[in-house]
Amino acid sequence: MQIADLAQQIIDEFALFPDWMDKYEHLIELGKSLPPFDEKNKTEPHLIQGCQSRVWLNAAYEDGKIMFTADSDAIITKGIVSLLVRVFSGQPPQAIIDANLDFIEQIGLKENLSPTRSNGLLAMVKQMKMYALVFLNKQP
Amino acid sequence: MFTLQTIRKDFPALAQKVYGKPLIYFDNAATTQKPTPVIAIVNEMNSLTNGNIHRAFHYLGNICTERYEEARETVRAFLNAPITEEIIFTSGTTAAINTVAFSFGERFVRANDEIVLTEAEHHSNIVPWQMLCNRKGAILKVLPINDDGSLSVKKLHQYLSKKTKLLCITQASNVLGVINPIKDIVAIAHAYGVPVLVDGAQGAAHGGIDIQDTHCDFYVFSGHKIYGPTGTGVLYGKQKLLNEMPPYQSGGEMIASVTFEQTTYAGLPLKFEAGTPNFTGVCGLKKAIDYVQELGWAHIKEQEEKLVCHAMQRLQEIDGLHIYGTTTPKTSLVSFNIDGIHPTDAAQLLDKMGIAARSGHLCADPLMHRFNVQGMLRFSFSFYNTTEEIDTAVDALKKIKQLLH
Ligand SMILES: Cc1ncc(COP(=O)(O)O)c(C=O)c1O
């Protein structure tokens, strides 16, 4: 599935929860079910400097697609991390570079990606796009 | 008589809703809301009475100069400082500390000298001293705190010596709330001939300090934490020290005469007030100090003590909740963690419920390391908060705990 379709899927999913509390509850569940992150990779190079909550990100390049794994010590942050992984992991570098993140706004979680929230998510998105750029330039 | 209701009406910000819910403002240690007299004077001066101070002969300039100097006298009286010229206006606590770190440092600190501070300092009372030490090859020594947040005052003897040039200590910790026994500490430091800088950022709004009783050499605070405008602050310094220190910033206002060969500086306080100061804000700060003094420190302390006791008691109801800073006396704040809950998660959910709390390292990384945590949650109260707000917040925390587990 392409990024836009995955994003739409998430928008539809969150539309089922009109109340913010239910939305956050769903987000927390998503965070809890994020595939485990290899503890070995919880090291400085994988740590995204985000002030309050710590976010770790790892990427591998397989068959022209980037596979992301990630984690956070804060569960709400982890929920959003899981959304970003779901949308970006398994996509080709160019699609990741071109992608916008409107869907986060559309599901009513915009403040979590705002520069005033020092939760590292914005830095995580930047880092994902950086990986995409690097892998793109490595292509034959 | 003041009632909580009439007091709350003086602070328009308290009446607003956020996310459709009545605002519960529990981040008063970060910044306080402003009462109407402060808002009114700032508005009036921005819309009518605006003329640059100390240089103009015209009507508006004169009024502004008078008000600005009147504010200086108000601050002097508030701190019970002996001399009005010892009061210097800055843009805040951080700017005041940097002024001392530079000017005092230039004059008095050399290689291998020592600066002593405590483990419970705000970054603003750490980094300027670190930079000074790096510039001069001086050494930073850090007095540890006890598990309950208190200082072992007697330990000071191990940290002070002939090499010590300055002791920098917070009046009250912005994380633990603990109020340090400044008078005793100053007495010990002075026995070693060491001057003391007191960071009053968290102390000013809870009664300030009596300079002539405590004998501290420098006292700094921020206007925005004592119900005044942002961008205002105060540096009190003993005249003798300030006279010996070189200016920090230079430019207009701080000069006596200028030729291209040589400049002679103005005397105190203008020597340390280069450029056009925030005179509008300073006039607002005066109104803020008038306001709290009219309310009375006894009333403020009584109300704030009631709030912090109520909060400490109600928070104990939550399993796995740990409070940091359990000694007394303390200011009206409480920092805590709940087992298995990241403070950022809790703060974010509280925010959605209309409750403004603080989470994170609280600008005190060394304290976070001391207590071996990534961050903390903090509720900080003002006399305008209510016990009902605390009840609502505790109920909210219980709900959040369920949600996150
Ligand atoms: C103890 C303490 N010192 C210094 C500061 C810095 O104050 P400002 O940011 O107003 O300069 C603060 C503010 O949080 C504080 O709590």
Residue B85's domain is classified under what CATH number? 3.40.640.10
For B298, the 3-state DSSP assignment is helix
In a shared domain, residues B281 and B166: yes
Spot the catalytic one: B133, B216, B283, B363: B363
Domain boundary among B258, B293, B328: B293
In a shared domain, residues B300 and B283: no
In a shared domain, residues B24 and B122: no
In a shared domain, residues B384 and B396: yes
In a shared domain, residues B275 and B218: yes
Domain boundary among B293, B317, B348: B293
Q: What per-residue confidence (pLDDT) applies to B163?
A: 98
For the entire predicted model, the pTM comes to: 0.94
- Residue B366 touches partner A, C-beta closer than 8 Å: no
Q: What per-residue confidence (pLDDT) applies to B79?
A: 98
Angle, vertex CA A66, rays to CA A60 and CA A69, nearest 5: 60
User: Which domain does A91 fall in, by range?
Assistant: 3-138
In a shared domain, residues B142 and B197: yes
User: Which domain does B355 fall in, by range?
Assistant: 4-30+296-404
pLDDT in tens, A70-95: 999 999 989 989 999 999 999 999 99
Counting the structural domains of chain B, the total is: 2
pLDDT band at A116 (very low <50, low <70, confident <90, very high): low
- The mean per-residue pLDDT over the stretch B325-344 comes to 95
| Average pLDDT along chain A | 88
- Residue A123 touches partner B, C-beta closer than 8 Å: no
pLDDT band at A140 (very low <50, low <70, confident <90, very high): low
In a shared domain, residues B237 and B348: no
Beta carbons of B112 and B299 less than 8 angstroms apart? no
Domain boundary among B293, B321, B356: B293
Counting the structural domains of chain A, the total is: 1
Peptide bond into B269 cis (omega under 30): yes
**In this model, does residue B60 exceed pLDDT 80?**
yes
Q: Tell me the longest C-alpha to C-alpha distance in chain A.
A: 48
In a shared domain, residues B368 and B399: yes
Tokens of A61: 């390049």
* Ligand 1 lining (C-beta closer than 6 Å): B 30, 92-94, 122, 124-125, 170, 174, 199, 201-202, 222, 363
Pocket test of ligand 1: the residue of B91, B118, B121, B122 to mutate, having most ligand atoms within 8 Å of its CB, is: B122
**In this model, does residue B329 exceed pLDDT 90?**
yes
A121 is catalytic: no
Q: Look at A52 and B404 and tell me if their CB atoms are within 8 Å.
A: no
In a shared domain, residues B190 and B285: yes
Residues of A with Cβ-Cβ distance to B360 under 8 angstroms = 51-52, 118
pLDDT in tens, B114-155: 999 999 999 999 999 999 999 999 999 999 999 999 999 999
Mutation for B interface: A24, A25, A54, A116, most B CBs within 10 A:
A24
In a shared domain, residues B244 and B391: no
Tokens of B177: 């709330």
Kindly write down the DSSP assignment for every residue of B147-208, as one continuous string.
TTS-B-GGGHHHH--TTEEEEEEESB-TTT-BBP-HHHHHHHHHHTT--EEEE-TTTGGGT-
Pick from A13-17, B239-243, B332-336: least confident: A13-17
- Residue B40 touches partner A, C-beta closer than 8 Å: no
φ/ψ bin of A124: left (φ > 0), alpha (ψ from -120 to 50), beta (otherwise): alpha
Of the CA atoms within 13 Å of residue A53, those in its CB half-sphere come to: 28
Four-CA torsion B117, B123, B125, B130, nearest 10 degrees = 70
In a shared domain, residues B59 and B200: yes
In a shared domain, residues B288 and B300: no
**In this model, does residue A30 exceed pLDDT 70?**
yes
| Average pLDDT along chain B | 96
